[in-house]
A and B are shown apart, each in its own frame.
Chain A
């Protein structure tokens, strides 16, 4: 008996401790000075999704038609790293940059998701990502004389489409180690020196070796900026762009190249911006709904299930603090849909208790002692509890697997909720019910374990009389 009581006490303490952690971490995070060092529990605030915190969500499609399929993952990872660096330079707090690989469900398109919490100026956001240059090297098109495309401009000047004159090589900004601003010692003209990494150096050497006496074009964002003629094979991976830059142009180019050139071109295909006020409204409403939902369920449990109901409310409170702690510690990014999932999970969490209490009542009616009824009640209800949650878990897992960010937010919270609620409803309620150690069956305990408008003992009588009537008929 004492063992059960000690466990019950430990569970209560754990619940209080977690509750304290949730409260304290939220308060201390909110009171942080803007540039203060984050220490202790303040490191664990709730992580809010863009629809609650306000911010911008950008979805890019990566054009990987020119990337070899074996190199696909590397290219996309490199793309993510580059964009991440870009965004970080900009000083956005906790940006999320992730690759969404092409598969059957998105028709093989490679996507890049960029979430920028707190950034509501879309044009600024798009600019800071799009700013990154696309650098690549192209060699002369062997059929360049046949594919000449020329257009006559309105001013009568014949323009040669230079793009058709060159073919792409494997050497792109991906292999760039760093870019340096230099000035020509004699003319003082600004130049941009490029240093390739090991792989890039080999590529560059190969390209220059094969094209001695020909031109190799350096393209930036799809436009040729410099078309030097190769005099000899260049090893060591150093190249120079002298493209009639002004010193400022050269300087920005170096900065942009160093922050990373995009390994593959990207196109913006979807934008979403949530203003800060809308996010705050949604958060407040979500918290309010959760509180009211919780209180209403607690009231229902206590009125309908009396003593076990009170215990279920304690178990439910512990469930809530466990969930909130998991949200903070994992952390789980909370969206409006996720909050909805959490509120529904509070309703589902008591289901297990309801099943158990109904079973206990049934055992009591069958004439078992209170302790035996509790024992069998838990044992026999477990299967119903497990079974009734499996279908919800099937749904949650599939939604998580296939969902978009929004759906995932719901599915993850819902799945964690169903799992934790099964454990908490079964184990916590059981320990508390045993701790009370009610042995005597009398009018009071009959009332306490009863439900609705009748108590457990009178129900027995009613059921028997109904049963008799049924048999007589």
Chain B
């Protein structure tokens, strides 16, 4: 009953976190990567010693590539971002960097490919959202009093938005301080969080409805509180196993999936938080508000 009694505190925490995330998104912004904008990224590593950054910038300037962003990468490397360049231009850059520079990776994406990815991402996002909303509607199709089924669905979606906004906020902070950009995996992370976090909310709501049917508890508030008591251990346990896996990926996994794993960890964590500490208290609020 602790959670329901202190529902104000928990809902406030969620509201504050969501606000902070939105503020961070507005202040820091979300930088689109070359996946979406088009452009080139050349990553090089020096075999013995790395020249100063401004030396690299000066070497590339005369090649008339246009705007070039040189950033140090790791101990011995640089990443060089430019507009999308041709094979000849890449060869020219590599030549100018000298024989000590080893090409680690090179990506060049034309603007039409970026536009295609934007379209595909939007379509996937819309379809996944629709799919999940239909799934929520289906899960709560059997109306149960005192709160009607569409309200369960609505609250499930509210907590889903909460679960998405916080990891995106986390990403915008990461993006500001480490320069990571919105790429394909960012989209995958957001959509995977959608899929993973909704199930937790459904488990809690399912239990609430079951307890309403059985009718052990006197008030709706008590029903919700006791339902949370019954499921929170397993909710936390199931999320913990996924979070353990994700943390292994954050700390030991490949660099290319690190930000992806951090976002998913945040998504799992706040997804579990929201199903216990946000969705159920909101349900009680809705019920109380309805009574008035």
Chain A residues in the interface with B (C-beta under 8 A):
51, 59, 61, 104-107, 109, 120, 122-123, 126, 268-275, 277-278, 281-283, 285-286, 288-290, 292-293, 296-297, 300-301, 304, 336-337, 339-340, 343-344, 346-348, 350-351, 354-355, 358, 362, 384, 387-396, 398-399, 401-404, 406-407, 410-411, 414, 451-452, 470
Contact = CB atoms under 8 A, between A and B. Distances in A.
B181 interface: no
A278 B234 CA distance: 40
A403 B91 CA distance: 31
A270 B128 contact: no
Nearest to B217: A470
A282 B249 CA distance: 11
A394 B199 CA distance: 12
If over half of B's interface residues share one DSSP class (helix, strand or loop), that class is named, otherwise mixed; here it is helix
A273 B105 contact: yes
19 contacts: A59-B113, A104-B119, A109-B116, A274-B104, A275-B105, A292-B248, A336-B257, A339-B254, A340-B260, A344-B246, A350-B238, A350-B241, A388-B199, A394-B132, A396-B195, A398-B128, A402-B120, A402-B123, A402-B127
Given A395-B195, A398-B127, 4 more contacts: A292-B252, A343-B246, A387-B199, A391-B135
Contacts of A340: 249, 253-254, 257, 260-261
Contact of B1 (A392, A398, A470): A470
A69 B171 CA distance: 44
Contacts, number: 232
Interface string B101-131: 0111111111011011101100110011001
Contacts of A268: 87
Nearest to B194: A395
Contacts of A337: 185, 188, 256-257, 260
Size category of the B interface is 35 or more
Contacts of A269: 109-110, 112-113
Contacts of A451: 233
Contacts of B261: 340
B1 A388 contact: no
A394 B248 contact: no
A271 B195 contact: no
Nearest to B216: A467
Interface of B: 1, 43, 84, 87, 90-91, 102-110, 112-113, 115-117, 119-120, 123-124, 127-128, 131-132, 135, 139, 184-185, 187-188, 191-192, 194-196, 198-200, 202-203, 206, 222, 226, 230, 233-234, 237-238, 240-249, 251-257, 260-261, 264
A407 B185 CA distance: 7
B112 A347 contact: no
A1 B194 CA distance: 43
A358 B233 contact: yes
Given A336-B256, A387-B206, A395-B195, A346 B124 contact: no
Contacts of B251: 289, 292
A51 B203 contact: no
B242 to A, nearest CB: 4
A297 B238 CA distance: 11
Given A384-B206, A387-B206, A394-B195, A273 B245 contact: no
